[in-house]
């Protein structure tokens, strides 16, 4: 029974590894973390795409799990990885109190480029950390996992290095625009409900509000931005929209009840509540122009 479960979840880790292999700058090591038969987080290697030497598949997935559960204690969790974890990732599992590690391909089945040069294995790190509570299972679907990697003695494949250059880095969404009928009313709503901070305004045309994490919400009076607008540094092309826009703000899971209480106190009706299959929750409500606003906790989208 346990063996069949291990094979199933290793299959999911293989899927993540194959996804990583298709993404320029990512890597073909996949990982999933499971507790109680439920996949709580998954990931693949992201070292080159994120310019982070620690972004191994296991570390990426542990970080996602921490953000989702809002804890650093992953007791009861099993970590599945397509390749034997390196020393860094093994010790991270110890610090995270992961209960079990299951891996596919062992060090002996992959080129040394995937590992540190000292050739310690996972069992060494678990033993040396004096943590006998972590169980280690090796070799689950090992042939399939090993097929993803350069083999011992082979010359590393440089085909990925010869692909077209990656897209320059995008740091996330910097601005979101809403088109509103009454600027003063909308600015008052967003400052009252969310406590966004006004930082710039053109009376009768637009207002800029600062959102946490260095993002901006731009409120434009409907129709006021249709024409291109010359400025000191250049010309901003015309833009506008009609209809109701959907705008979502992320919140920590623990803050969901507080937001429900705040909306009730401000007499803002909650239009809908959704519990997503992956564990996230959403609250939906409207602003004065009928735009649909959403407060969403981690667990809605795949990692």
Residues annotated as catalytic (active site), given as ranges: 58
Please tell me the distance from the alpha carbon of residue 280 to that of residue 21, in angstroms, as a whole number: 28
CA atoms within 13 A on the CB side of 289: 25
DSSP-based helix, strand, coil % in the chain, nearest 5: 30, 25, 45
Give, in order, the Cα–Cα distances in Å from 212 to each of 6, 195, 199, 239: 41, 10, 13, 25
Residues near 119 by beta carbon (within 8 Å), at least 6 away in sequence: 107, 112
The number of C-alpha atoms within 13 Å of 121 and in the hemisphere containing its C-beta is 14
Dihedral of CA atoms 71, 75, 76, 82 in degrees, nearest 10, equals 80
Radius of gyration of the chain (CA): 24
| Angle (CA) 86 88 89, round 5° | 70
């Amino acid at each position: 029974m346990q063996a069949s479960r291990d094979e199933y979840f290793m299959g999911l880790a293989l899927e993540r590894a194959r996804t990583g292999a298709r993404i320029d700058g990512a890597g073909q090591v996949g990982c999933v973390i499971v507790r109680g038969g439920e996949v709580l987080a998954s990931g693949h290697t992201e070292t080159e795409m994120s310019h982070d030497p620690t972004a191994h598949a296991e570390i990426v997935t542990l970080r996602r799990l921490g953000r989702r559960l809002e804890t650093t204690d992953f007791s009861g969790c099993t970590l599945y990885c397509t390749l034997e974890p390196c020393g860094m990732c093994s010790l991270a599992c110890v610090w995270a109190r992961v209960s079990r590690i299951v891996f596919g391909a062992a060090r002996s089945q992959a080129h040394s480029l995937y590992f540190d040069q000292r050739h310690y294995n996972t069992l060494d790190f678990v033993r040396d950390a004096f943590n006998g509570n972590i169980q280690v299972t090796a070799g689950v679907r090992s042939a399939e996992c090993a097929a993803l990697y350069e083999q011992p003695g082979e010359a590393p494949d440089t085909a990925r290095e010869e692909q077209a250059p990656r897209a320059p880095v995008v740091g996330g969404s910097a601005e979101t625009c809403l088109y509103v009928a009454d600027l003063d009313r909308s600015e008052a709503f967003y400052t009252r409900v969310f406590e966004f901070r006004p930082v710039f305004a053109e009376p009768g045309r637009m207002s800029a509000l600062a959102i946490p994490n260095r993002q901006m919400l731009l409120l434009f009076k409907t129709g006021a931005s249709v024409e291109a607008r010359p400025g000191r540094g250049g010309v901003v092309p015309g833009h506008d929209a009609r209809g109701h826009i959907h705008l979502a703000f992320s919140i920590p899971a623990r803050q969901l009840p507080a937001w429900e209480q705040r909306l009730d106190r401000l007499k803002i009706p909650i239009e809908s509540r959704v519990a997503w299959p992956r564990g996230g929750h959403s609250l939906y409500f409207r602003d004065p122009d009928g735009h649909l606003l959403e407060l969403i906790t981690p667990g809605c989208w795949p990692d």
